[in-house]
Amino acid sequence: MTESAHATKLAYLAKRNPALSVPEFAARWRQHSLLAGSMPAIRPGIAQTAHCLNLYDRSVFARATLEYDGVNFLTLTDPGVALTMWQPDEAMELLQPDELETFSTYARHFTLTTHEHVVSEGKMQHYCLIFFLKRDRGFTLEAFTRALAEAHGVMADGARRAVVNAVFDRPPGYNFDAVTELWFESEDEVREFTRARTFADAYLGRRAELCDEMRTVAMMTKLNHARPPIDERTAAEYRPG
């Protein structure tokens, strides 16, 4: 399959506005998303959005980051939206000031543009283990993506949704080549999974051959907001008001 056959997805690696507490950030981010979703120039270009809040939980993965506060996955209806969504006057006049009320800087400054590779089919759930990865210099981007997707798919074993997002455009300071997703129903399920030999030995061992692990950013997250909702529970839980 060619790259053009893969959906284009934006991945935010976000820090909150330092004036906000963690609970305030969660609410503020939902509010910001509702504003963006109300804009006719932007909403048709978004097929799916999923805000994932950092749980700052190192019991799941020992090197989980405490530096960043969340990840947003924005699946686009067309690759061109990755550029045009930032250009409407309403984005400049309304959305960007609201970004500064929500995040540490403008969203475009921490957004990576990727091609999505779904390596294990399944639905998004309420928890997601996310890794931002830098390839070892011995691999081309194509070879790295292919090998990582194979390892990620084997590790997931078709039991849950697993995705490798291959980065093809990134802002300064975000020197990653892939963003991976692994979705779970509960925190306990994630802990059990990451302690199993399939993950701890086989997958991480293979990934150490592919990646510069010193640059890895890991994050255990809980879904904060999704549009469209992933199920009836989230439709009620994330409803504004």
pLDDT digits (tens, 9 = 90+) for 193-234: 999 998 999 999 999 999 999 999 999 999 999 999 988 666
Distance (Å, rounded) from C-alpha 166 to C-alpha 38? 29
pLDDT value, residue 158: 74
pLDDT value, residue 234: 61
Look over the chain and give the mean of its residue pLDDT values, rounded to a whole number: 92
CB-hemisphere CA count at 13 Å for 160?
Answer: 18
Hey, how many other C-beta atoms are within 10 angstroms of the C-beta on 155? 22
Hey, how many other C-beta atoms are within 10 angstroms of the C-beta on 123? 10
> CB under 8 Å to 29, separation ≥6 — which residues?
16, 51, 53, 70, 102, 224, 225
At 91, the pLDDT band (50, 70, 90 cuts) reads confident
At 239, the pLDDT band (50, 70, 90 cuts) reads low
CB-hemisphere CA count at 13 Å for 185?
Answer: 5
pLDDT value, residue 183: 97
Q: What is the CATH number of the domain that holds 167?
A: 3.30.70.100
Task: Please give the backbone phi and psi of residue 204, each rounded to the nearest 5 degrees, phi first.
Answer: -65, -30
- What three-state secondary structure class fits 232? helix
Chain center to CA of 2: 22
Hey, how many other C-beta atoms are within 10 angstroms of the C-beta on 78? 12
Distance (Å, rounded) from C-alpha 187 to C-alpha 174? 28
Q: What is the mean pLDDT of residues 66-76?
A: 97
Q: Is the pLDDT of residue 48 over 60?
A: yes
Question: Sign of the C-alpha dihedral, residues 55, 129, 47, 166?
Answer: positive
> CB under 8 Å to 162, separation ≥6 — which residues?
118, 119, 120, 122, 152, 153, 155, 156, 180, 181, 182, 183
Buried b (16+ CB within 10 A) or exposed e, 163-202: bbbbbbebeeeeebbbbbbbbbeebeebbebbeeeebeee
Q: Helix, strand, coil shares of the chain as percentages rounded to 5?
A: 40, 30, 30
At 83, the pLDDT band (50, 70, 90 cuts) reads confident
Tens digits of residue pLDDT in 92-151: 889 999 999 999 999 999 999 999 999 999 899 999 999 999 999 999 999 999 999 999
The residue that leads in pLDDT, 38 or 116, is: 116
pTM listed for this prediction: 0.93
What is the number of domains present in the chain?
Answer: 1
- What three-state secondary structure class fits 169? strand
Query: Could you list the residue range(s) of the whole structural domain that residue 119 is in?
Result: 3-237
HEC readout, 177-192: CEEEEEEECCHHHHHH
Q: Is the pLDDT of residue 3 over 90?
A: no
Distance (Å, rounded) from C-alpha 77 to C-alpha 151? 28
